[in-house]
Amino acid sequence: MSFSSFQHPDDFKRLRDVFEAARYTDAAILEVLGIKDIPSLRGEDVPLLLRRTNQGTPLDTLIRLFLIEVPCDRKEVQRAFQPMMLEKLAEAGLIHADGTRVKAAVKLMPFHGLLIAFDSTRMLQTERKKDYVMGIGRSTLTLANLTVRRQAGMSLDLGTGCGIQAFLAARHSSRVLAVDKNPRAVHMASFNARLNGLSHVACLEGDLFEPVQGRMFDLIVTNPPFVISPEMKYIYRDSGMEADQVCQKIVSQVPQFLNKGGYCHILCNWTEHAGQDWRERLRGWFQGTGCDVWVMRSETRDAATYAATWIRHTEKEAPEDFDRHFEKWMTYYDQQDITAMSAGLITMRRSAKGKYWYRADDAPEKMLGPCGDSMVRGFELQDFLETVREDSLLLNTRFRVSPDVCMERIAKPSVAGWVDETIRLHISRGLAYSGNIDSYMANVIVKCDGQRQLKDLLAEIANAPGVDLEKIRPIFCQVIRGLVERGFLLPFDSNTDFI
């Protein structure tokens, strides 16, 4: 990809106009292809997709070229790109025009109103694989969905790849810097920024924070090359550092670049070791950072499963070499006493206080829609819990049940009527936590209307025959803390309607 044939902003506008005129949008493509989401397209059946794009429309041609990645007839492609000349697109590195056939040189995907160029995974099977620029993958979507979307001044995307996180941040930032070590990625991200008319995104080449020395940000997002392996084959996957050191290094540098009150999200893989609690191991990473920290673990895989999954995913050049790769990866893990890897999101918020909290727990099973607001709410609720560490303070608080809570009840018939087997609470949007509770707590929760202090609700339970108030108080408080932490209960202040 090069800019040589795209010198003027009008060139980018003309290209964008071609895609707009063809209705090359998320919605239209999903409708034509009959699929649920475009990033998951790679697993689809090519003959089926070709059948669904056989009307010869410009949209069909662009989908075949840039998403299904099959060679197309030159005349059809020229028709789709009118009035642009194919030579200009070839010079820009978007297509290869060869006799009567045209092939895409990159993938071009619409994503939430943006048009994004990135490399085809086929590049991983070529000599140029090291510089492969990743597209919109599962990790991309996870980070994008969990990012706090508050209005920001300056934002930073570290390891920008095709630029997607930077462009999403650009929607709520005055200016965004996008850094990548891979010159090809910087090129691709710059091209994409211009294609989407995002003049307030600047793309810089360099190692981690090195190109932004001396600058401060309200938001930092990073999906770094976190894969834990003995390899240094692909810039997008391998950091060249031991085990999980790339994430540790980013964590240690964040405070120098994050404004007070600013958030930093780091998508991360970390190692687990026999006999060591992952929460305690990670706690050490944040000592002295001056940040409140929330580590949300999404999954843990034993070392062998982790190695096998990544080797199958990326080491495609010689599938028969699986055993050799696997042996090398497992030897590396054994040498470092690594038993498993966990994946998750680290969120750091730089704080002005002298005392910082650390929370490390499992992600909810479901995330329903954008989760940025739930992340902010999670930080606010943890701030509140820090102020009521003593049970007496917690019991003096008034709570109200979150409007996002709903209850699911499974009951069995008996002679006395329906008897509850399970009562389960769910949060219905964002970080959609869920969990079972007993009927006592279900009754307490529904009575949380912001009027009565928690101690009055506890006293009601304690009135039941055979209940010892002193005994249940600590357990009751512990359950309430868990419900607050996950956003089922919200502390209520009649002046502010919330904490």
Ligand X SMILES: C[S@@+](CC[C@H](N)C(=O)[O-])C[C@H]1O[C@@H](n2cnc3c(N)ncnc32)[C@H](O)[C@@H]1O
- Shorter beta-carbon distance to ligand X: residue 271 or 382: 271
138 binds ligand X (CB under 6 A): no
Cα dihedral 442→446→448→453 (10° resolution): -60
Binder of ligand X out of 80, 104, 235, 268 (CB under 6 A):
235
- Shorter beta-carbon distance to ligand X: residue 227 or 458: 227
Piece of the chain touching ligand X by CB under 6 A; list 27-35, 153-161, 365-373, 408-416: 153-161
Positions in 325-354 near ligand X (CB under 6 A): none
182 binds ligand X (CB under 6 A): yes
155 binds ligand X (CB under 6 A): no
> CB neighbours of 128 closer than 8 A, spacing ≥ 6?
none
Q: What is the DSSP letter of 413?
A: E
Alpha helices, DSSP H, located in 284-366? 303-314, 322-335
Give me the residue label for tokens 């920024």: 193
Rounded CA separation 45/49 (Å): 6
364 binds ligand X (CB under 6 A): no
156 binds ligand X (CB under 6 A): no
> CB neighbours of 252 closer than 8 A, spacing ≥ 6?
285, 289
Which residue is nearest to ligand X, using beta carbons? 159
- Secondary structure class of 367 (helix, strand, coil): strand
- Secondary structure class of 291 (helix, strand, coil): strand
Binder of ligand X out of 119, 180, 292, 391 (CB under 6 A):
180
Piece of the chain touching ligand X by CB under 6 A; list 88-96, 134-142, 372-380, 456-464: 134-142
CA 372 to chain centre: 10
140 binds ligand X (CB under 6 A): yes
Residue 238 Cβ, how far from ligand X at the closest point, in Å?
8
Binder of ligand X out of 45, 127, 207, 280 (CB under 6 A):
207
- Shorter beta-carbon distance to ligand X: residue 239 or 351: 239
164 binds ligand X (CB under 6 A): yes
Site size for ligand X, by CB under 6 A? Answer: 22
- Shorter beta-carbon distance to ligand X: residue 134 or 176: 134
- Secondary structure class of 224 (helix, strand, coil): coil
Binder of ligand X out of 58, 110, 159, 491 (CB under 6 A):
159
Residues 340/148, Cβ–Cβ less than 8 Å: no
- Shorter beta-carbon distance to ligand X: residue 207 or 320: 207
229 binds ligand X (CB under 6 A): no
Residue 346 Cβ, how far from ligand X at the closest point, in Å?
15
Piece of the chain touching ligand X by CB under 6 A; list 39-47, 108-116, 155-163, 456-464: 155-163
CA 323 to chain centre: 32
Give me the residue label for tokens 């462009």: 167
208 binds ligand X (CB under 6 A): yes
211 binds ligand X (CB under 6 A): no
Q: Which two tokens stand for residue 389?
A: 């560490």
Q: Sign (positive/negative) of CA torsion 202, 208, 212, 218?
A: positive
The percent helix, strand, coil of the chain (3-state, each to 5) is 40, 25, 35
187 binds ligand X (CB under 6 A): no
Q: Sign (positive/negative) of CA torsion 436, 441, 447, 451?
A: negative
Give the binding site for ligand X (CB under 6 A): 134, 137, 140, 143, 159-161, 164-165, 179-182, 185, 207-208, 223-225, 235-236, 239
